[in-house]
Amino acid sequence: MLRIVPVYPELLSIYGDRGNVRVLAQRARWRGLPVEVAPLRLGEDLDPAATDVILIGGGQDRDQALVADALIAQVPALRSAIADGVPVLAVCGGFQLLGHSYLDQSGRETPGTGLVDLVTTAGRRRVVGNVVVEVTMNGVKQQLVGFENHAGRTELGAGVAPLGRVVIGGGNIGDGQTEGCRVDRVLGTYVHGPLLPKNPWLADRLLAWGCEHRGLATPLDALDDRLEAAAAQAAIDIARAETQTRR
């Protein structure tokens, strides 16, 4: 049984993160894979051996502060799962919580998990708009598309690679250069909206890693992704049109 674990979804689902959970589960079901969605609730402990994909969604600053201590308490279990090959997708606030800390505009610091060497400081201007990112994974270039809406300016440590290169949009620090982070199977990103419906290739990469962890057969059977491709192209067209308008 493939087990998908969204972390604290009652608080970390502000940007349609439930959609990411539904996409992963449905794409598994379409392939006849046994799948279970098992949310990690506040006060519960993560069981690394019973976890195949971990999703950490976004939340308001207040919500991130509420879950920070609970998530930090799960760091040993998270490290164990990651070391065993369990993939992690952390979006927006979840991306920030991967790091050492988040400093908000009032000067209040929220501690992070330290799972990835990065720090985030809130900027004065929000980075908002459709975003297109070029991601190379397994030697194949893909386009990651979605929406970004964040005040955070996330600086990656010297040994941390970005998830991709910004084609359109602001990215980690709003300068249009790099977006997200990747450390082995731990992925962080500011791209949401939700992320996975328009990026089925990334959903399938997470599923393949999860299946590998659970000992289920891979590679995954191909699916008809014409609707998903059309949605992604529409998002790209909108992003390009917005860029032209700003010029």
Catalytic positions, written as ranges? 92, 192
Residues 237 and 101: their CA atoms lie apart, in Å, by 35
Residues 6+ positions from 201 with CB-CB distance below 8 Å: 142
Cα 103 to the center of its chain, rounded Å: 20
What is the DSSP track for 33-63?
--EEE--B-TT----GGG-SEEEE----HHH
Nearest to 96 by CA among 39, 153, 160: 153
Q: Which helix (H) or strand (E) holds 168?
A: strand 164-168
- Element (DSSP H or E) covering residue 19: helix 17-30
**CA gap 21, 28 in Å, rounded:** 11
